[in-house]
Amino acid sequence: MKITALLVLKCMPEGADPIILANACDVSHFGFFQRSSVREFIVFVSRTVAKRTPPGQRQSVQHEEYKVHSYNRNGLCVIGFMDDHYPVRSAFSLLNQVIDEYQKNFRESWRTAQADSTEPWPYLDNALTKYQDPAEADKLLKIQRELDETKIILHQTIDSVLARGEKLDSLVEKSSDLSAASQMFYSQAKKTNQCCSIL
């Protein structure tokens, strides 16, 4: 999973090309001689997708193994270039965070921009690095991953107990903590459930 670029653009009325307000991209995984062409392609696709994303809308455009996600909030549009494996929910969560942070830092000053900005925005560069892991952008994904890890550990623990040759049935029979009635209940319940189990 990889984020290649994040851009913030001002969408112009009357179909004019959007203005780039902030741009961060990581093209290090491309060949050295391809990098400038890739940057130009990112700018071209960003303007094209931003121009075609209506205000208040989100959309994803697939191109080969990449997806371009966009979110237009009343003329302020954020674009993310991710590979196909980056979860869509995490991508839009990231775009929402970027647009919130941009509005918090720059307020409404973006509305007066008339040309592309070449000044770096450190937050965007940091976000490009930090959110390479989708769990950082999407807290639900992070919680799900932690639950999956816990489940794996529990399965490994139970398997390791059973791997030592101890079976639950033999433990129940040997246990002095269980009364005869509890042992009888366990064996009856096991017999009853055998008729209904599906393997």
Rounded distance between C-alpha atoms, residue 140 and residue 102, angstroms: 23
Q: Note whether residue 146 is domain-resident.
A: yes
Tens of pLDDT, residues 7-41: 999 998 777 889 999 999 998 888 999 989 989 99
Tens of pLDDT, residues 59-89: 999 877 889 999 999 989 999 999 888 888 8
Give the mean pLDDT of the chain.
80
Number of domains composing the chain? 1
Q: CATH no. for residue 123?
A: 3.30.450.50
Q: Is 187 left (phi over 0), alpha (psi -120 to 50) or beta?
A: alpha
Which H or E run includes 99? helix 88-106
CB 95 within 8 A of CB 134: no
pLDDT at 169: 60
CB 12 within 8 A of CB 18: yes
Q: Note whether residue 42 is domain-resident.
A: yes
Rounded distance between C-alpha atoms, residue 134 and residue 95, angstroms: 12
Rounded distance between C-alpha atoms, residue 53 and residue 33, angstroms: 32
Rounded distance between C-alpha atoms, residue 102 and residue 6, angstroms: 12
28 is in which domain, residue-wise?
3-163
Q: Note whether residue 184 is domain-resident.
A: no
Which has the closest alpha carbon to 86: 65, 70, 57?
Answer: 65
Q: What predicted TM-score, i.e. pTM, was given to this entire model?
A: 0.67
DSSP code of residue 11? P
